[in-house]
Structure 1
Amino acid sequence: MNQTSLNAVELEIARNRLESIAEEVGTALIQTSYSPNIKDRRDCSAGIYGPDGMLISQAEHIPLHLGLMPTMIKNALATYGTENLVDGDVLITNNPYLGGSHLPDMCVITPVFWHDELIAVVANLAHHVDVGGITPGSMATHATEIYQEGVRVPPVKLFDRGVLQRELFSVLLTNIRTQDKTRGDIMAQVAANRLGERRIQELLAEWGTQRFGQSTRALVDYAARRTAAAIGHLPDGKGTFTDILEHDGNREHPTEITVTVEVSGEHLTVDFTETNDQVSGAVNCSWAVTEGCVAYVIKLLTDPTLPSNAGLMEPITVHTRKGSLVAAVFPAPVANGNIQTSQRIVDALLGAFHEFAPEHVPAASSGSMSIMTIGGFDETTGQYFSYVETYGGGQGAMPDQDGASAVHTHMTNTRNTPCEVIEREYPLRVEAYQIAENTGGAGTFRGGDGLIRHLTLTRGKAQVVAGTSRVTTAPWGLAGGSDGTPGHVIRHGTDGDEPRESMTRFEVHAGEGITIQTAGGGGYGTA
């Protein structure tokens, strides 16, 4: 192998070898996890990083996770200090102020040593069904500070030289409602990383450290060149767009997300500094989430095959303002920032690009990951349960085709929880799960339709937290296309049906339930 560069064949071999390891880590996690949220919905992501946290390769999982994990891994390693790591150590953290998303997303980080030298890091991130806090599921919309959202874990050793730190683990689990599920899921994360560690060591035995380092640097350089070239194919120009997040978690409170994007040759500059300040409710998000949205949008608009490693962001400059909705600082609550705000960041970015590159931009999609959590203490089993699921909606129509119906769009890429699994795992009955017909916007190409999920509690009582968006606003159409139909949330009580706000919480008793209908996507072109 050439000592200064890789040829095209060598580059593809390196890319596929490293990406396959990340994919295998993710597959192992999914197949060995305990909670339906991970094993069925696949609410998890995995990647390989350099000793300093430089992203090398990722599995094709959830855009939001994949976009923010490089920042989180880099900051976690810097905070803990790589000089304090030895073979057999495993770190765990969920701190959103280090670049995480929200507290349920636990990140497990495993250093990979070769002949006593730190060569790489394997990391995966998974959404746990509970991490404490004021509501089961740890996704309270009405939190006003981070302490109400659950246990916040700084980067600490879960394993020290291969030995589980049982006292630390006990403290963590004692503050979590779903201890058995959480214990199993965290151990699955650890085991999946160990598989990745073995695969990297096998690669090091074959390649050696010099070739491994050369290959990872070449892949990052390759991604930077590819991204720069992709940006260069966009027209030069500048656009500014403001979209509205309609609810702050506590009340209807329109909050502006304003972004200016500028393409100049092969460089992209993105400026969010005019976005409104962080709010008292749980829709704030870290600046790492915002950067992840930018990375996603540039792939969406140019070339979805762009390699997802550290080189992707090299030709891109992102400006945020600390203390704003999209760059929140302590002690801002953040539980629903990725669920709601990340999707609106994408909408704002698409609106800005449409100002000067309209042929690349689709109409707005449903605008929310649309989450529902239902949890409580089940007297029959003597244990807490916590149902967590996000729902798809209508995809915005594109300049050349209709939008898809009832799908996860933009920053989310999970599956659904099968109805049979819901009724087996929880005291819930699925009354309806269907496409919300004719909710997509009309146009030359139609927006996709939203979906409907109706659940009833079968015994006991439970707390419900529901969060969607585009209820008082609608996903916008483009080029004369109609807006999509807004979504809605309904509480089904013994005294009748009650429409609720887009972000809401309430208690239900046996026989009562909830319906959530997600918004349809915007249409494209004059019908």
Structure 2
Amino acid sequence: MRTDPVTLKVLENHAQAVAESMAFTLFRTAHSTFVKETEDFTTGLVTPSGMTFASPRDLGATWFIGLDYKGALEMIDHYEEGDICVTNDPYSGFVCSHTPDMHIWKPIFWEGEVIAFAVGHIHNTDMGGAVPASLSRANTEVHQEGIRFRPTKLVSRGVMNAQLIETMMLNVRMPEQNRGDLNAQIAAVNTGEAKMHEMIRKFGVETVKNGIEDLLDVGEARARAVISGLPDGDFRFVDYLDEDGPGGVPVRLDLTLKVRGDGVIMDFTGSDPQLKSALNMPTGGNPRHILLMVGYNYCLYTLDPSIPLNGGILRAATCIVPEGTVLNPDYPAAVGMRSLTCGRLQGVIMGAFHGAAPDRLPVGAAGGGGIVNVKTFDAASGKLSMASIDPVTGGAGGSAFGDGTDGSGANSSFLKNTPVEINEVEVPIKFRRYGLVPDSGGPGTARGGMATELEVEVFTPDTVITARNRDRTTFAAWGGSGGEPGAPSLFTRITQKGERINLGNTDVVSMGPGDVFNLTSGGGAGYGDPFARPIELVVRDVLRGSVTPEAAQSRYGVVVDREGHLDEAGTHALRQSHVTPPVTTYSYNASRRAYEAVWTDANYAALTQALTMMPVHWRHFVKREVFDRIASLPDNARKGDGSEIWEAIEAVKARVPGLLRSMQVRGAAE
């Protein structure tokens, strides 16, 4: 290491302070609610080759730690002082991950040499496209998800590219928001440049250059030290998205975590083929793409909260991601809803790491609520009004260390809620309820965090609600060590007549005057046997409204009324008669158990093998065909050993001659 430890720590703090100054600048000057309230943005500093070496710890979307800008940086021919570049194209350099994310970077020169780049992104409320807010799982190709820009210079030697901005504003629904947020981004990278110059003047350019590389080396060393504390072995975990599209079938995410000494391999073989919906994750096959590594970062940070937050920690891991899958799709697959897939993938990674360290990491977080956008009209003026009003995230999972956080926990806790008063000023709507849901946290010795409920009334025709990341209506958060799964999520439309319509995982809903929507997230899962939960904590939960008296009795073995009066004899009798079920590392809800009784590991393995032999553009079609055929089988024909899958594949080939010809052409080409 070229820098002594004391100086390096000082440099780390200075670099983080630069990144946080950028974040405060952006946070204070942004226009859209989604940036200035929800805080879906990032700022940071990256090396000349593109690796992040400094990020804020508290402000913004902290899940982009370790984002590699290399692909985008290299698409610009040359840099000059005063340049600022932008992109929002998911397939150009694989820095952006969907079109609303506008990434920006500015080279920081010192005596003619690029020392670093000031970088960051914001999530635009809208970038045009097929639906308000640009995102819906119903989209089938990236062209439907709004206007895209390859990496290009927004500012050249201090001169703004006015035509680029004009083209952008012409294609979005709320141009004043986009323009205001873009100006805030420019101010943020300018702040980063100024602060880095101060840092260089204070320490000297060679000290700063050496320190940047040493920070990454320290990050790697610390990550390897954390991994060395885990047992060697293979730890497999599987989870699902409820649907691959409207009215579709589940999407399987499959991970085998291989811990070997001070490094890990994350093998995603067995995950589903790329989809004809917007749930694909554009990673370009990068073995350390940040979308694949978020859950890894969270696990390492949980195991060692003092670990440096920079790209060096990613060097201890390598991902295997087959091409043409939902985690590595081919262009022009739609990717707008990648945040749902990424969120579930984070949980899959946490599940695998939980298998390696069940007493040190939590069980499943809630998910399923969505991020709510409203496009409506002011009843008096008739003017268009549009804003992102709230993330509805749900609680964290319990752990050996205690209960999961209620309302907003685990991997979604960086998304901040917007005060009701601000939302009702931004858009003409009325909040009827915004709070926590009793009995939604999975029972356990450590209870899962409670779900969040949002209920809103609209007042004008043609109001459109988008709730991206809707999920967890079928596959609830998983519990562990005897703890139970969390409650599933729910999305309901309530008409003026009082009719309640279950919207399932719908993410775009048209509503009329007087209509109400209720969006309830899932609940976090429980950890440990619920009947081992201290009685006084169950009584406290009842008094707080977290658990009803009925659930306290049936799920915890505690007899207590709403006033907190405990029936000690009744409680003793219930707990004495309780038979502790076999304790397993993971526990799943009834819907998942029923699904996996049909879709066994052997059946999925056969399907994965068969699809791998087919051209990418056939795989989703064949998967749907196979699912339809398996669903139509009588119970006595289900073996679960993979044989029914191969029979279904042969039936599809016979019905669709073009499939067999495509496979033959592909085989000849290989």
- In structure 2, the residue matched to 1:134 is 130
Asked whether the equivalents of residues 477 and 487 of structure 2 are also in contact (C-alpha less than 8 Å), the reply is yes
TM-score of the superposed pair, with normalisation by structure 2 = 0.75
Judged with a 3 Å threshold, the aligned counterparts in structure 2 of structure 1 residues 239 and 482 are, in CA distance, closer, same or farther, namely same
1:361 aligns with 2:342: no
Shift of 1:494: 2.7
- In structure 1, the residue matched to 2:27 is 30
Looking at structure 1, the residues matched to 368 and 506 of structure 2 have their Cα atoms a distance apart, in angstroms, of 11
- In structure 2, the residue matched to 1:459 is 460
1:399-418 per-residue CA deviation (whole Å, 9 max, x = no partner) reads 12000110143155121011
1:104 aligns with 2:100: yes
Looking at structure 2, the residues matched to 300 and 251 of structure 1 have their Cα atoms a distance apart, in angstroms, of 38
Asked whether the equivalents of residues 369 and 412 of structure 1 are also in contact (C-alpha less than 8 Å), the reply is no
Looking at structure 2, the residues matched to 300 and 478 of structure 1 have their Cα atoms a distance apart, in angstroms, of 21
Looking at structure 2, the residues matched to 426 and 460 of structure 1 have their Cα atoms a distance apart, in angstroms, of 14
1:373 aligns with 2:356: no
Q: Match for 2:201 among 200, 205, 222?
A: 205
- In structure 2, the residue matched to 1:264 is 260
- In structure 1, the residue matched to 2:655 is none
Looking at structure 2, the residues matched to 361 and 134 of structure 1 have their Cα atoms a distance apart, in angstroms, of 40
Looking at structure 2, the residues matched to 218 and 160 of structure 1 have their Cα atoms a distance apart, in angstroms, of 32
Asked whether the equivalents of residues 342 and 411 of structure 1 are also in contact (C-alpha less than 8 Å), the reply is no
What are the within-5 Å matches in structure 2 for residues 352-431 of structure 1? 352-368=352-368, 370-376=370-376, 378=378, 380=381, 382-410=383-411, 413-431=414-432
Judged with a 3 Å threshold, the aligned counterparts in structure 2 of structure 1 residues 395 and 65 are, in CA distance, closer, same or farther, namely closer
What are the within-5 Å matches in structure 2 for residues 224-243 of structure 1? 224-243=220-239
- In structure 2, the residue matched to 1:172 is 168
* Residue identity matched to 1:371: I
Stretches of structure 1 lacking an aligned partner (at least 5 in a row): none
Looking at structure 2, the residues matched to 187 and 96 of structure 1 have their Cα atoms a distance apart, in angstroms, of 22
Give the superposed CA RMSD: 1.8
Q: Which moved more, 1:174-183 or 1:497-506?
A: 497-506
Looking at structure 2, the residues matched to 104 and 435 of structure 1 have their Cα atoms a distance apart, in angstroms, of 30
**Which of the two has greater strand per residue?**
1
TM-score of the superposed pair, with normalisation by structure 1 = 0.95
- In structure 1, the residue matched to 2:40 is 43
Aligned length, in residue pairs: 519
Shift of 1:341: 1.0
SS at match of 2:411: coil
Shift of 1:364: 0.5
Looking at structure 2, the residues matched to 316 and 478 of structure 1 have their Cα atoms a distance apart, in angstroms, of 26
Shift of 1:383: 3.6
What are the within-5 Å matches in structure 2 for residues 314-325 of structure 1? 314-325=315-326
- In structure 1, the residue matched to 2:51 is 54
- In structure 1, the residue matched to 2:342 is 342
- In structure 2, the residue matched to 1:292 is 293
Shift of 1:223: 0.8
1:508 aligns with 2:511: yes
Judged with a 3 Å threshold, the aligned counterparts in structure 2 of structure 1 residues 377 and 41 are, in CA distance, closer, same or farther, namely same
Asked whether the equivalents of residues 63 and 411 of structure 1 are also in contact (C-alpha less than 8 Å), the reply is no
Shift of 1:388: 4.8
Looking at structure 2, the residues matched to 448 and 413 of structure 1 have their Cα atoms a distance apart, in angstroms, of 16
Q: Match for 2:8 among 11, 32, 38?
A: 11
Looking at structure 2, the residues matched to 327 and 62 of structure 1 have their Cα atoms a distance apart, in angstroms, of 26
Judged with a 3 Å threshold, the aligned counterparts in structure 2 of structure 1 residues 46 and 316 are, in CA distance, closer, same or farther, namely same
- In structure 2, the residue matched to 1:66 is 64
Identity %, equivalent residues: 29
- In structure 2, the residue matched to 1:280 is 276
Looking at structure 1, the residues matched to 364 and 324 of structure 2 have their Cα atoms a distance apart, in angstroms, of 27
Looking at structure 2, the residues matched to 53 and 308 of structure 1 have their Cα atoms a distance apart, in angstroms, of 15
* Residue identity matched to 1:508: M
SS at match of 2:133: coil
**Which of the two has greater helix per residue?**
2
Asked whether the equivalents of residues 295 and 350 of structure 2 are also in contact (C-alpha less than 8 Å), the reply is no
Q: Which moved more, 1:462-471 or 1:514-523?
A: 462-471
1:470-508 per-residue CA deviation (whole Å, 9 max, x = no partner) reads 111211110111111111000122342211112332211
Shift of 1:78: 1.1
SS at match of 2:148: coil
Judged with a 3 Å threshold, the aligned counterparts in structure 2 of structure 1 residues 366 and 446 are, in CA distance, closer, same or farther, namely same
Q: Which moved more, 1:357-366 or 1:312-321?
A: 357-366
Stretches of structure 2 lacking an aligned partner (at least 5 in a row): 284-288, 531-670
- In structure 1, the residue matched to 2:482 is 480
- In structure 2, the residue matched to 1:302 is 303
Structure having greater relative contact order (Cα 8 Å, sep ≥ 6): 1
Judged with a 3 Å threshold, the aligned counterparts in structure 2 of structure 1 residues 67 and 277 are, in CA distance, closer, same or farther, namely farther
Q: Which moved more, 1:324-333 or 1:191-200?
A: 324-333
SS at match of 1:355: helix
Looking at structure 2, the residues matched to 135 and 172 of structure 1 have their Cα atoms a distance apart, in angstroms, of 17
Q: Which moved more, 1:249-258 or 1:44-53?
A: 249-258
SS at match of 2:249: strand
* Residue identity matched to 1:512: D
Q: Which moved more, 1:355-364 or 1:516-525?
A: 355-364
- In structure 2, the residue matched to 1:123 is 119
Looking at structure 1, the residues matched to 248 and 407 of structure 2 have their Cα atoms a distance apart, in angstroms, of 26
1:364-393 per-residue CA deviation (whole Å, 9 max, x = no partner) reads 111346222221455725345233532220
- In structure 2, the residue matched to 1:87 is 81
1:124-165 per-residue CA deviation (whole Å, 9 max, x = no partner) reads 111111110111111222101111111111111111111111
Asked whether the equivalents of residues 296 and 350 of structure 2 are also in contact (C-alpha less than 8 Å), the reply is no
Looking at structure 2, the residues matched to 80 and 462 of structure 1 have their Cα atoms a distance apart, in angstroms, of 41
* Residue identity matched to 1:520: G
Looking at structure 2, the residues matched to 171 and 220 of structure 1 have their Cα atoms a distance apart, in angstroms, of 39
Looking at structure 2, the residues matched to 322 and 459 of structure 1 have their Cα atoms a distance apart, in angstroms, of 46
Looking at structure 2, the residues matched to 315 and 491 of structure 1 have their Cα atoms a distance apart, in angstroms, of 47
Q: Which moved more, 1:344-353 or 1:113-122?
A: 344-353
Looking at structure 2, the residues matched to 415 and 462 of structure 1 have their Cα atoms a distance apart, in angstroms, of 24
Looking at structure 2, the residues matched to 321 and 79 of structure 1 have their Cα atoms a distance apart, in angstroms, of 25
Judged with a 3 Å threshold, the aligned counterparts in structure 2 of structure 1 residues 119 and 176 are, in CA distance, closer, same or farther, namely same
Looking at structure 1, the residues matched to 298 and 317 of structure 2 have their Cα atoms a distance apart, in angstroms, of 12
Looking at structure 1, the residues matched to 388 and 483 of structure 2 have their Cα atoms a distance apart, in angstroms, of 37
